[in-house]
């Protein structure tokens, strides 16, 4: 393999980015490239970036700067993903040794862009933004996860929440046909995967271009693919969370009994300022559907504290919602301004110290809720899918259908392979995990 036909890819950010990287890797390998383990070994160095978190762009440019000396050795650089779309050709100005800048909406053009790179072009861009109706589909996905297969069913976002850059970096919402999703699910099952996770910025906003299946019907259909034992989906938007999703989870045991439903705030006024398109009562109605299910469905959420204008009383509304819903997991964040978002024009008058204090209060309260929730599993026997091993602690790591981490002892000298399903009796509980022994 010629050195220039090797590549190194580093991924920042979410599961969507991680799965995008699987497809990018497969595309590169199909074009004759070999993946290597470090920048120093690679002819082509790629960073698949995320711009959700604060100072994401700075982190990318710092990383590029750390390795710019490799450019003198003939290595080429590419910036992919959300920061690429957000910064565009400004990346060439700040890092002139970069040869390729491509947003995720342009990944379908990667073979063409690689050919141009090999022909000697030094400034290649793929910046479709919100223009394209096409999705990135490939049969050559290089799946990196040994136990879970990911399928993106919808790309982009049309919600324009005031704090979020995703609509500007990933383009408009565009769904894949249900036929193509099911075909990929069957390919995944044929590879030996028994768990599938369906992905989308707003996964339940899915609209089948062929008009055949609703999102709930697609969930059920994926769950019925031979060989598939678990189906997960993330992330749902409350505006499009319908009762038939809960009915599908009740009807098909292959659908995991876990729903991630971001609320962001417990205050209807703050939700309106965030442009979330629902109220507190609307959200809680959907929670009532989930809690009325025949199966006990685990709930997780995202919450932002310190959004511009959030009063102490509105923060208390969020704390009250926390107590009412009793989530099993909360991802909490302090508000930070992101480029190009509507919230930039809002007066961010809440001091960072106050934001940090609110976040700590929220996380401390949530920890106590989780301590009580997880303690309910003591003595229970549950099915766990093995994800790996922790030899230092003599435990196997796995996950329940409710997406709870389970660490358990295994009596045999050879650890079970990732993807194996075992029954585990829970002998101890913590706020973020369960401990048990294989039955």
- Give the model confidence (pLDDT) of 205-252 as tens digits: 999 999 999 999 999 999 999 999 999 999 999 999 999 999 999 999
350 and 401, same domain (yes or no): no
Q: What's the CATH code of the domain at 398?
A: 2.40.50.140
Integer Cα distance of 97 and 123 in angstroms = 9
In angstroms, the Cα distances linking 133 to 124, 178, 219, 243 are 21, 16, 23, 29
Pairing relation of β-strands 154-155 and 230-234? unpaired
Domain at 50, CATH number:
3.40.50.12160
How confident is the model over 21-69, as pLDDT tens digits? 999 999 999 999 999 999 999 999 999 998 877 677 788 888 898 888 8
Contact 179, 220 (CB under 8 A): no
Q: Where are the alpha helices (DSSP H) in 70-129?
A: 82-87, 90-94, 110-118
| Structural domain for 399, as ranges | 381-438
Average pLDDT over residues 151-158: 95
Is the per-residue pLDDT at 134 higher than 50? yes
pLDDT tens track for 57-116: 788 888 898 888 888 888 999 999 999 998 999 999 999 999 999 999 889 899 999 999
Tell which residue, 75, 73, 23, has the closest CA to residue 48. 23
SS3 316: helix
User: Can you tell me the distance from the alpha carbon of 189 to that of 229, in angstroms, rounded to the nearest whole number?
Assistant: 10
Residue 315 lies in a domain: yes
Q: Are 406 and 434 in contact (CB under 8 A)?
A: yes
CB count, 10 Å around CB of 127?
A: 16
Average pLDDT over residues 385-414: 93
Q: How many residues are recorded in the chain?
A: 439
Query: Is residue 133 situated within a structural domain?
Result: no
The per-residue pLDDT of the chain, averaged, comes to: 94
Q: In the listed set 329, 350, 374, which residue is the last one of a domain according to the structure?
A: 374
User: In which band, very low, low, confident or very high, does the pLDDT at 1 lie, cut at 50, 70 and 90?
Assistant: very low
> Is the same domain home to 13 and 81?
yes
Are residues 48 and 32 located together in one domain of the fold?
Answer: yes
**Both 160 and 303 in a single domain?**
yes
Apex CA 193: angle with CA 297 and CA 435, to 5°? 50
Same domain, 116 and 160: no
Could you tell me the two tokens for 152? Answer: 């993106």
Residue 67 lies in a domain: yes
Q: What is the DSSP string of 252-300?
A: -TTB-SEEE---B-S-HHHHHHTT-S--HHHHHHHHHHHHTSSS--EEE
* The token pair that represents 336 in the structure block: 């930070």
Closest to 330 in 3D by CA, of 375, 293, 360 = 360
Asked if residue 86 and residue 156 are part of one domain, the reply reads no
Is the per-residue pLDDT at 353 higher than 50?
yes
Domain boundary among 92, 126, 160: 126
**70 belongs to a structural domain:** yes
C-alpha to C-alpha distance for 195 and 232, rounded to whole angstroms: 8
The two structure tokens encoding residue 223: 């769950």
Quick: pLDDT tens for 286-322.
999 999 999 999 999 999 999 999 999 999 999 999 9
Same domain membership, residue 389 and residue 368: no
Domain CATH for 267? 3.80.30.20
pLDDT at 180 over 90: yes
Quote the tokens at residue 348.
Answer: 């961010």
- Residue 404: pLDDT band (50, 70, 90) is very high
- Considering the domain architecture, whether residues 366 and 225 belong to the same structural domain is answered as yes
3 state SS of 434 = strand
Give the residue among 75, 11, 9, 3 at the shortest CA–CA distance from 32: 3
The verdict on 212 and 272 lying in the same domain is yes
- Model confidence pTM above 0.75: yes
The count of structural domains within the chain is 3
Same domain, yes or no: 389 and 355: no
**Do 214 and 321 fall into the same domain?**
yes
Residue 111, SS3 per DSSP:
helix
Same domain, 267 and 314: yes
């Amino acid at each position: 393999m010629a050195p220039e036909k090797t590549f190194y890819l580093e991924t920042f950010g979410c599961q969507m980015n991680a799965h995008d990287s699987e497809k990018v890797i497969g595309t590169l390998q199909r074009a004759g490239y070999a993946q290597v383990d470090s920048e120093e070994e690679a002819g082509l160095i790629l960073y698949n970036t995320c711009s959700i978190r604060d100072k994401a762009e700075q982190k990318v440019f710092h990383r590029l700067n750390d390795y710019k000396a490799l450019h003198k050795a003939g290595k080429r650089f590419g910036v992919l993903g959300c920061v690429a779309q957000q910064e565009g050709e400004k990346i060439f100005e700040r890092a002139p040794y970069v040869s390729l800048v491509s947003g995720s909406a342009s990944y379908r053009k990667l073979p063409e862009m690689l050919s141009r790179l090999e022909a000697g072009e030094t400034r290649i861009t793929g910046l479709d933004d919100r223009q394209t109706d096409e999705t990135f589909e490939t049969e050559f996905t290089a799946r990196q996860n040994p136990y879970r297969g990911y399928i993106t069913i919808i790309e982009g976002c049309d919600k324009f929440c005031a704090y979020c850059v995703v609509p500007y970096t990933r383009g408009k919402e565009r769904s894949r046909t249900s036929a193509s999703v099911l075909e990929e699910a069957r390919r995944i099952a044929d590879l030996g995967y028994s768990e599938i996770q369906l992905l989308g910025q707003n996964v339940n906003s899915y609209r089948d271009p062929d008009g055949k299946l609703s999102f709930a019907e697609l969930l059920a259909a994926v769950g019925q693919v031979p060989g598939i034992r678990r189906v997960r989906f993330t992330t749902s938007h409350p505006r499009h969370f319908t009762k038939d999703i809960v009915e599908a989870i009740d009807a098909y045991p292959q659908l995991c009994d876990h729903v991630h439903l971001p609320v962001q705030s417990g205050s209807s006024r703050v939700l309106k300022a965030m442009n979330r398109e629902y109220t507190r009562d609307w959200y809680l109605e959907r929670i009532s559907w989930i809690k009325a299910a025949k199966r006990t469905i685990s709930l997780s959420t995202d919450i932002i504290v310190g959004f511009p204008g959030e009063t102490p009383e509105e923060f208390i509304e969020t704390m009250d919602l926390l107590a009412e819903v009793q989530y099993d997991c909360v991802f909490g964040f302090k508000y930070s301004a992101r480029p190009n978002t509507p919230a930039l024009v809002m007066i961010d008058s809440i001091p960072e110290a106050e934001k940090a204090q609110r976040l700590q209060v929220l996380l401390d309260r949530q920890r106590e809720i989780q301590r009580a929730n997880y303690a309910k599993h003591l003595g229970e026997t549950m099915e766990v899918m093995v994800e790996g091993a922790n030899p230092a602690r003599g435990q196997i790591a796995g996950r329940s259908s409710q997406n709870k981490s389970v660490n358990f002892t295994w009596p045999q000298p050879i650890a079970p392979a990732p993807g194996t399903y075992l029954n585990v009796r829970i002998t101890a509980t913590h706020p973020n995990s369960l401990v048990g022994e294989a039955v």
